[in-house]
Structure 1
Amino acid sequence: MVEIERKFLVNSEDFKKAAYSKSRIQQGFLNTNPERTVRIRIRDEEAYITVKGKNNEAGLTRFEWEKQIDKNEAEELLKLCEPGMIDKTRFLVKCEAHTFEVDEFYGENEGLTVAEVELSSEAETFEKPNWLGNEVTGDARYYNSQLTKNPYKNW
């Protein structure tokens, strides 16, 4: 239930050629308090509720709990979410022993593409593909919960 991940900007669309999967995601937040966020997500035909705790000082590690829920329930819960929605396509890209989740955003976050890689420890090393740009791990502006409040188009 502990999530360790690093986040990067993406500097080209080369990742799309290597992607083995893609799905459309819509999500909103019932709570965006930095101490705990509660997210409702619909990914294609599946839906989830996720609770995330506060990041550690480095921004790498935090508690995460997720449960699949009925899609109709998720659609109703999205109506209760705080203002601002996330609309994106997620591409899964295998690189050596790791899988990168690359999110291409739409709507008010159009033009933003970020990649995340989950790790088993904060010190774990990984291969960095050529399309990976600057690291933004721990930069709260890039948290989905914050992109609903201050979208990329406003930067």
Structure 2
Amino acid sequence: MGTEIERKFLSRGEAWREAADEGTEIRQFYLAVREGLSLRVRIKNETQALLTVKSGIGMRRGEFEYEIPLADAHDLEAAHLGAVLRKRRYRVPLGALTAEVDVFSGDLAPLVLIEIELPDEDHPFARPDWLGDEVSEDGRYTNAALALAERPPLAAT
């Protein structure tokens, strides 16, 4: 079983951009969502498509990801639930870890969420000034919840 342990934060300013890569354009949508389980398709830079199953709630979740043909992803998009999320994901070195900074566009702009994947829940990491409030346990900030929300929670960057 694949497991991800992830902490999620709002952004405080844009100082993270100084060390960020060029970013990846992401379009993602959900095919099924219920408490503790989601099925999503993510299209990266219009060149790669991934089907992901996530299970569980909170910081530690099951995650199973499979590459699928891009044409299949485009066909599946017609069956999406809620909104199609659009964001640019930047990778920022954070010591031995990497922060993934998602800058949302469309209806979710100016939301910026930062995810840090950890080897275990108690793993220490440097906390730079641009890391804002932690929202790891706030279900409103999962991508599935953002896609299904009538009025998503927004935070200034």
Common fold, TM-score beyond 0.5?
yes
Tell me, yes or no, if the aligned pair for 1:7 and 1:115 is still in contact at 8 Å.
Answer: yes
Tell me, yes or no, if the aligned pair for 2:23 and 2:90 is still in contact at 8 Å.
Answer: yes
Task: State the 1:129 CA deviation.
Answer: 1.6
Unaligned 5+ residue runs, structure 2? none
Query: Counterparts of 1:129 and 1:4 in 2: how far apart (Å)?
Result: 20
2:36 is equivalent to residue 35 of structure 1:
yes
Secondary structure in 1 matching 2:73:
helix
Other-structure match for 1:53: 55
Tell me, yes or no, if the aligned pair for 2:82 and 2:147 is still in contact at 8 Å.
Answer: yes
Return closer, same or farther for 1:2/1:154 CA change in 2, 3 Å cut-off.
closer
Secondary structure in 1 matching 2:30:
strand
| Structure 1 residue identity aligned to 2:71 | N
Per the normalisation by structure 2, the TM-score is: 0.92
The Cα RMSD (Å) is: 1.5
Tell me, yes or no, if the aligned pair for 1:36 and 1:53 is still in contact at 8 Å.
Answer: yes
Per the normalisation by structure 1, the TM-score is: 0.93
Tell me, yes or no, if the aligned pair for 2:30 and 2:38 is still in contact at 8 Å.
Answer: yes
Query: Counterparts of 2:88 and 2:9 in 1: how far apart (Å)?
Result: 16
| Structure 2 residue identity aligned to 1:115 | I
Return closer, same or farther for 1:98/1:154 CA change in 2, 3 Å cut-off.
closer
- 1:76-115 CA distance string (max 9 Å, x none): 1111111211000000000111100000001111110010
Return closer, same or farther for 1:81/1:133 CA change in 2, 3 Å cut-off.
same
2:117 is equivalent to residue 115 of structure 1:
no
Other-structure match for 2:95: 96
Other-structure match for 1:152: 152
Query: Counterparts of 1:4 and 1:21 in 2: how far apart (Å)?
Result: 25
% identity of equivalent residues? 36
Secondary structure in 2 matching 1:85:
strand
Tell me, yes or no, if the aligned pair for 1:29 and 1:38 is still in contact at 8 Å.
Answer: yes
Query: Counterparts of 1:40 and 1:94 in 2: how far apart (Å)?
Result: 26
Secondary structure in 2 matching 1:73:
helix
Number of matched pairs:
152
Return closer, same or farther for 1:154/1:100 CA change in 2, 3 Å cut-off.
closer
| Structure 2 residue identity aligned to 1:86 | L
- Moved segments of 4+, more than 3 Å: none
